[in-house]
Amino acid sequence: MIILVFLIVISLSFYVYYKIKYVRSRLQMERKYLSGKSSIALGLFVAFFGINQLFLYHTITTYIVAAVFIIIGFLSAWTGFKAFKYYRPFALKEIEELNS
């Protein structure tokens, strides 16, 4: 259970880190790329939080809410990963053109 707390803190930290990078970036494709990364981190945070709740409380309501959190979290991480994969070549090209 301590590993879940560690994963929750790490994923939340990555979310904040990528959102700060997103705000500071001025390149459009890099912003979309960073948005995908932050979506992955936020989705994992929500999913790990839902999994953690399964160990803390043992009621039907908790199981339902945890299931919703897990499903929404993993779907958010999955769509963030798809965006990350899609925008990565464009962001790298944009950064390369800026450095040239």
pLDDT digits (tens, 9 = 90+) for 25-59: 999 999 999 999 999 999 999 999 999 999 998 99
Q: What is the pLDDT of residue 5?
A: 94
**pLDDT tens per residue across span 67-89:** 999 999 999 999 999 999 999 99
Q: What is the pLDDT of residue 100?
A: 78
What secondary structure does DSSP assign to 26-89, as a single string?
A: --HHHHHHHHHHHHHHHHHHHHHHHHHHHHH--SHHHHHHHHHHHHHHHHHHHHHHHHHHHHHH
**Those residues with Cβ within 8 angstroms of residue 28's Cβ, 6 or more apart along the chain or in another chain:** 94
69 and 49 Cβ atoms separated by less than 8 Å: yes
What global pTM score does this model have? 0.91
